[in-house]
Structure 1
Amino acid sequence: MRILAVLAVLCVACPAAAAPHDRTERLLGELADAPGPSGYEEAVRRVMVRELTPLAEKITYDGVGSVIAQHGASGPKVMLDAHMDELGGMVRRVTPTGFLSMQMLGGWLDQALPDQRWIIIGRKGPVHAVTGIRDVHVVPADERTRVFSRDSLYLDVGARNAAEVAALGISPGDPVVPDSPFVALPGGRYLGKAWDDRVGCAVVIEALRRLRASGHPNQLYVAATVQEEIGLRGARTAADLIKPDIGIAIEGGIAGDSPGRSPEETQAVLGGGPGLFLYDSSTLPNRRFVTLVGDVAMAKDIPLQRDLVQGYGDDSAAIQATAGGVPTINLVVPARYTHAHNGIIDRADFDRTVDLVVALIQRLDAPTVARLRNFAPNR
């Protein structure tokens, strides 16, 4: 009994931590596991609509499938964006011997593709597949370190011929997604696919949940957009409908804390807090908005990682170029190994990003937004 009492006291005294399988963890796992390559976001859209509907005053859609949840009827129009699609592919052709070629969707590295498991979403349901790889016993020595082109890879579903592939309900155009189930790792870190940008999808849901309870001075439009990975398409069409005064994109960032990385690639680390992009290859953020984010983070004692990343694009670029020009920023939850089958995020980074987004939107009243949008020279 004495041991049990001591354990009970110790448990009460433990610092606050995410409870196993709490609501947020379950949401992150469901979003990560949902199949949703560009143009095939249906499963993710169902989750987003289910979660956003009780929090919003109105749910609408653009003409390509983005979800727009509105809360608040007065004040500046704030567009809070996260994209639903992930890297994936589609079946291109079926060979007579039952193999399938694949059209990649999004910015894959060729070295991330061989010997990986995939799921094909056919008309009869999901079908498991693998991208084959040549056996080391027959590969010549001078080819063993070579990266093979994606065009040389084929999906293997175990079929003997094209008729067996058809019997599985597979045909050209069917979507293909990584087969990489969500796993909660020790220390509050999560392993899964599609953190770019399912982690952003979870951020905007949790931010709206809190803003609905606490209030905010805006017309808030939470946009879960489509086809970001193939050209930022849904962000543009959603922004065309919203006509925002201000835009905030939430993304999966790029952590540079794994071995072999150069600090010039990225300096963000897991557990270091939310990130703010000062530059990427698609957009430059509004400088006053960048300053405001820093001020809010400091006031709320939220660590903020500022970064510049080349070879990266995000929805804020599309939002920025609509409605005559929109001040935008891109906030990120750092992630390791994006644009591959498996990535890792830190729960503390997620929670702090939600804290920052909520505090920032509460600051975006009409005078503040007017200052961000004012480019008249000082006299």
Structure 2
Amino acid sequence: MRSLPLLALVAAVLTVPAAAQPAVDRTAGLLRELADAPGPPGFEEGVRRIVVREVSPLADKVSYDGLGSVIAQQGTSGPKIMLDAHMDELGGVVRRVTDTGFLSMQMLGGWLDQALPDQRWVIIGRNGPVTAVTGIRDVHVVPADERTRVFPRDSLYLDIGARTRAEVAALGIEPGDPVVPDAPFSILAGGQRYLGKAWDDRVGIAVVIEAMRRLRSQGHPNQLFVAATVQEEVGLRGARTAADLIKPDIGIAIEGGITGDSPGRNPEETQAVLGGGPGIFLYDSSAIPNRKMVQLVAYTARSIGVPLQRDLVQGYGDDSAAIQATAGGVPTVNLVVPARYTHAHNGIIDRADFDRTVDLVVAMIRRLDAREVARLRDFTP
């Protein structure tokens, strides 16, 4: 066989037929849109627009708390079930502009310092998005004893290519503007694993939307309040204010979980694996779930054939902690879609885990009639 000229060979390699690309169904499209939307704590507007668009046709009423959380009510009688996921993601905010056109950044949420250098970011200024990068020192000039050092976040600056403070202003950027990771959604090899930013907790937002969609057609015996909350990453704030308005009888938080199946992990950190099904947190640093709720989740999962991963995680907080401390005390549980590499630019989820989590949530809510809720809330010895 005659060999192709070099340019022709390169062109053949780079030309991928459209049919070879993984298909994107409605659910994958929603996950893509949610993951790509900018929304650090206090700046959730872009995510809120998507949520309101999706839940409005499914709800009897849509309202908001005073911080901007979305509360979509479905059903007008029966126990009040609060199904929660938070809209915000890890990000930052422009803190200061230097005379030479660099920007310092106040981080929002629980970032690791080693995840920050040499990363692309998007600043949402008044004239639209602006691409930035956190710089990194050149290896050729870094002394040998500093090459393995983690440099603190306060030593990092955003570089947008500007040369002066005036050029930054001309781009519509000023202190207080939100900053988010630049990490576009992508479908990985095999078509069943999704790469993207903000799975904590856009995957939870997608779960509650899809669960609400299914429950609209299947029905349920309660008042369902789907709460898409704000500012979880900086103190569980929106869950508290939303729960103050809802006054739920039961609370279910949906989160992006943590996996321990990548190389080099301590098995005591977490036991969950990608593709192993939804998870339930038996403990985290902010909340201990209601024991009867844990038993109900396990029973429901078995009854519908969904594998359930049990986990205990230190250094983790979730909205169920804020919900359970309102209205005189609310039985709560935190369910998770496992995710690799959370609280960083790029995370991975498994589509089967997502679908099974929706199955579990729908089955749970359909079981939570007045009798079952009364049982869960009964602490009589």
For the criterion TM > 0.5, the same-fold answer is yes
Question: Displacement, 1:186?
Answer: 1.9
Q: Hey, what's the Cα distance between the residues in 1 that align with 2:76 and 2:189?
A: 43
Tell me whether 1:122 sits opposite 2:92 in the alignment: no
Match of 2:19 in 1: none
Deviations 1:303-325 (A, max 9, x none): 00000000000000000000000
Deviations 1:301-352 (A, max 9, x none): 1000000000000000000000000000000000000000000000000000
Match of 1:294 in 2: 298
Match of 2:40 among 37, 40, 45: 37
Q: Hey, what's the Cα distance between the residues in 2 that align with 1:335 and 1:267?
A: 12
Q: Hey, what's the Cα distance between the residues in 1 that align with 2:260 and 2:207?
A: 22
Question: Displacement, 1:221?
Answer: 0.1
Q: Hey, what's the Cα distance between the residues in 2 that align with 1:365 and 1:22?
A: 33
Tell me whether 1:186 sits opposite 2:189 in the alignment: yes
Work out the number of aligned pairs and report it: 359
Counterparts of 1:258-277 in structure 2 under 5 Å? 258-277=262-281
Question: Displacement, 1:218?
Answer: 0.6
Which segments of structure 1 move beyond 2 Å, counting only runs of 4 or more?
Answer: none
Aligned AA for 2:127? K
Aligned AA for 1:130? V
Counterparts of 1:1-379 in structure 2 under 5 Å? 20-187=23-190, 188-377=192-381
Q: Hey, what's the Cα distance between the residues in 1 that align with 2:31 and 2:343?
A: 17
3-state DSSP of counterpart to 2:340: coil
After superposing the two structures, state which structure 1 stretch, 19-28 or 288-297, moved more. 19-28
Deviations 1:112-167 (A, max 9, x none): 00000000000000000000000000000000000000000000000001110001
Aligned AA for 2:153? R
3-state DSSP of counterpart to 1:329: strand
Q: Hey, what's the Cα distance between the residues in 2 that align with 1:24 and 1:339?
A: 23
TM (norm. structure 2) is: 0.94
Aligned AA for 1:373? R
Give the superposed CA RMSD.
0.5
Aligned AA for 2:247? K
3-state DSSP of counterpart to 1:244: coil
Q: Hey, what's the Cα distance between the residues in 2 that align with 1:194 and 1:287?
A: 30
Aligned AA for 1:180? A
Deviations 1:52-77 (A, max 9, x none): 00000100000000000000111100
Q: Hey, what's the Cα distance between the residues in 2 that align with 1:358 and 1:21?
A: 23
Q: Hey, what's the Cα distance between the residues in 2 that align with 1:321 and 1:169?
A: 42
Q: Hey, what's the Cα distance between the residues in 1 that align with 2:208 and 2:358?
A: 8
Aligned AA for 1:269? V
Identical-residue share of aligned pairs (%): 82
Question: Displacement, 1:20?
Answer: 1.3
Q: Hey, what's the Cα distance between the residues in 1 that align with 2:301 and 2:361?
A: 10
3-state DSSP of counterpart to 1:68: strand
